Structure 1
Amino acid sequence: MNLKSPFFEKTQHSTRVFHDEESAIKKLSTQLLSLLPAQKDRPIVFVCIGTDRSTGDSLGPLVGTKLNEKKVSSFHIFGTLEEPVHAVNLKETLKHIQKLFPNPFIIGIDACLGRMKSVGSASLGIGPVKPGAGVNKELPPVGDIHITGVVNVSGFMEFFVLQNTRLHLVMCIADLIAKSIETVHNEREKEFNNSSVYQPVRHYKQ
């Protein structure tokens, strides 16, 4: 879980949509598609960060689990409810990814706390996500780009706030992110339907 800074919200090439916004999936997927590398042979890896032991911090594993169910076979997924990627194993997971894939393009997915007006939104931006910042943990940054969901308000007793975040809201944001990624996957499959580069590897146990 990270903190959403006012600076990020105004960063160039960033996109923010709310889970109940009309055309939210189209907006988020269109921007994500535009940021992915054009090379067919560059592995696309999603690192879904978080833990199911905290409602607010379960966004990443929920997205990873939903992506596995959607069978986005040309993308590689790390972090699910069954096998979460969190503070304990994040560094090792990133090392493992670098060993598995040549020059991977990594998308970090994580929950965050932010302003009241941003709660319920998902943001996509260039650069890594910084997991652990919201609860004062020093963890490596993750991703060439990142997707974050604002699950609650920052500013006071962040750990307690995460524990008392509504699961319904987290599920709604996770649905938005997962469906947007599925849309991107399908669009890329249409474009590369004659390619044999992608391998049907979706989830890696630690």
Structure 2
Amino acid sequence: MRAIIHNTTTNFRIHYKETGVVWKLSNVFLQSIPFQYENIVFLCIGTDRSTGDALGPLTGSHLSELKTFPFPVIGTLETPLHALNLEQQIEELQNNNPEAFIVAIDACLGKGTSIGQFLFQHEPLKPGQAVGKTLPLVGDVSIKGVVNVAGFMEHSVLQSTRLHLPYEMSRILSRALQLAYSRYQSKKIYNGNNHTYYQDTGN
């Protein structure tokens, strides 16, 4: 049975340098990503050929290196998920794993005042917008990182974005996702121990 999430009304935005950003993001992920549902797939969209568009594969690589993060991650620096192979990957997922809950991650462009912000949304991602491509919507929830300014020569803007920003944002994002899952696991163990205690004491 496919996962159902109930907290679907609130989108969340936060700057990657805000105090406590990893903890605050993990709160949102813990409420909105159904970690109890083991069939979760993380799609990290982007390419290492464009510094601004590298947020997705950087995040995917960080997550893939975490031995305690058990979920499939598609899209890394080694095997990026981008405009040329995204449709094929979505089709394969729909055919082979139609019940998967998909978390889509990608870089985006925005207002100057939004650069460095994460945006978590309870809606699919629209990949390819920054470079004028029409690609299928993807994801049950989406996480976007604003890496530069939108509105003019956007492909060139992505190409000329300093790598430092998407790299730092990818580190924050992967840590927050790992923390959210670890907190879920700790809560699960705590609740299980409490249940055992009440059974043993007859309460």
- Match for 2:12: what amino acid? T
Q: How far 1:89 sits from its partner (Å)?
A: 0.7
What's the TM-score, normalizing by structure 2? Answer: 0.84
- In the other structure, the counterpart of 2:141 is 145
Q: How far 1:73 sits from its partner (Å)?
A: 3.5
- Match for 1:26: what amino acid? W
Q: Any idea what SS the aligned residue of 2:165 has?
A: helix
Matching of residue 115 in structure 1 with residue 119 in structure 2: no
Indicate conservation of the 8 Å contact 2:69/2:178, yes or no.
no
* Alpha carbons of structure 1 residues 193 and 91: separation in structure 2 relative to 1, 3 Å: farther
Q: Any idea what SS the aligned residue of 2:125 has?
A: coil
- Match for 1:97: what amino acid? L
Q: Any idea what SS the aligned residue of 1:32 has?
A: helix
**What are the residue-to-residue correspondences of 1:57-206 with 2, within 5 Å?**
57-192=53-188
- In the other structure, the counterpart of 2:27 is 30
Counterparts of 2:38 and 2:10 in 1: how far apart (Å)? 22
- Match for 2:73: what amino acid? I
Identity of aligned residues (%): 44
Q: Deviations over 1:147-168 (max 9, x none)?
A: 0000000010000100110111
Q: How far 1:74 sits from its partner (Å)?
A: 2.6
Counterparts of 2:88 and 2:98 in 1: how far apart (Å)? 17
Identify which of structures 1 and 2 has the higher relative contact order when contacts are C-alpha pairs closer than 8 Å and 6+ apart.
1
Q: How far 1:103 sits from its partner (Å)?
A: 1.0
- In the other structure, the counterpart of 2:10 is 13
Q: Which has the higher helix share?
A: 2
- Match for 2:173: what amino acid? I
- In the other structure, the counterpart of 2:3 is none
RMSD: 1.8
Counterparts of 1:183 and 1:105 in 2: how far apart (Å)? 19
Counterparts of 1:42 and 1:99 in 2: how far apart (Å)? 18
Out of 46, 53, 76, which is 1:50 matched to?
46
Q: Any idea what SS the aligned residue of 2:158 has?
A: helix
Counterparts of 1:158 and 1:83 in 2: how far apart (Å)? 24
Counterparts of 1:77 and 1:156 in 2: how far apart (Å)? 32
Q: Any idea what SS the aligned residue of 2:72 has?
A: strand
Aligned residues: 183
What's the TM-score, normalizing by structure 1? Answer: 0.83
* Alpha carbons of structure 1 residues 155 and 41: separation in structure 2 relative to 1, 3 Å: closer
- Match for 1:132: what amino acid? G
Divergent runs of 4+, >3 A? 191-194
Q: How far 1:42 sits from its partner (Å)?
A: 4.5
Counterparts of 2:21 and 2:81 in 1: how far apart (Å)? 27
Q: Deviations over 1:96-121 (max 9, x none)?
A: 22334351110110000000001011
Q: How far 1:72 sits from its partner (Å)?
A: 4.1
